[in-house]
């Protein structure tokens, strides 16, 4: 119980997922993918999850309302990563795993909001886009200057061949 409460307090985002018929190999593959993304997959009893959530404060989520077994996926680095990795895994398992809700910045998210969150680009992808946007004008300027020099060299080469 204390371990679950500590995980909830450390996490930047939490995704709740229901799973039915998820094999050990699939379970371990998901754990491995999440571990690489600074996230954690934690299967717990619904009663313990409800108690831990009530200790956190104003979060009113009843895991018992969800059918099947419940897992909490804690994201410690990026807020989007647990939803994104889980969404990719859901596509590969054909209905054995599905979103049940989540928590972001102390606010309860519905299943649809978690699915929308999984579509947002992650932090690293946003950084790459920002660097590309900053670099584009400089690259264009360098190419324009290089084009003028290339044209000058071509003209000089044509004059040399003519003589």
pTM summary value? 0.72
Q: 119-151, pLDDT tens digit by residue?
A: 888 777 888 888 888 888 888 788 877 887 788
- What does the mean pLDDT of the chain come to? 84
Element housing 71 (H / E): strand 69-75
CB-based contact 41:85 (threshold 8 Å):
no
* CATH architecture of the domain with range 2-120: 2-Layer Sandwich (3.30)
Does residue 58 have a pLDDT over 60?
no
- Let me know: does 57 contact 106? Beta carbons within 8 Å: yes
Q: Are 72 and 52 in contact (CB under 8 A)?
A: no
pLDDT tens-digit profile of 5-20? 888 888 888 999 888 8
pLDDT of 73: 92
Identify the three-state secondary structure at position 64: helix
pLDDT value at residue 101: 87
Model confidence pLDDT, tens digit, residues 90-118: 888 877 888 888 888 888 888 899 898 88
Specify the pLDDT at position 60.
67
Q: Strand, helix or coil at 72? A: strand
Which of residues 145 and 65 earns the better pLDDT score?
Answer: 145
């Amino acid at each position: 119980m204390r371990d679950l409460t500590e995980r909830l307090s450390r996490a930047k985002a939490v995704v709740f997922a229901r799973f039915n018929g998820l094999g050990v190999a699939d379970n371990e593959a998901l754990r491995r993918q999440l571990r690489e993304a600074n996230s954690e997959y934690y299967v717990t009893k619904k009663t313990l999850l409800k108690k831990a959530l009530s200790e956190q404060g104003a979060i009113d989520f009843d895991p018992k309302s969800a059918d099947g077994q419940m897992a909490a996926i804690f994201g410690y680095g990026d807020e989007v990563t647990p939803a994104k990795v889980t969404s990719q895994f859901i596509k590969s398992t054909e209905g054995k795993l599905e979103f049940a809700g989540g928590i972001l910045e102390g606010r309860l998210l519905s299943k649809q909001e978690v699915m929308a969150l999984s579509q947002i680009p992650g932090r690293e992808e946003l950084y790459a886009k920002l660097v590309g946007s900053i670099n584009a004008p400089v690259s264009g300027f360098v190419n324009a200057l290089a084009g003028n020099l290339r044209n000058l060299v071509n003209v000089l080469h044509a004059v040399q061949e003519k003589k």
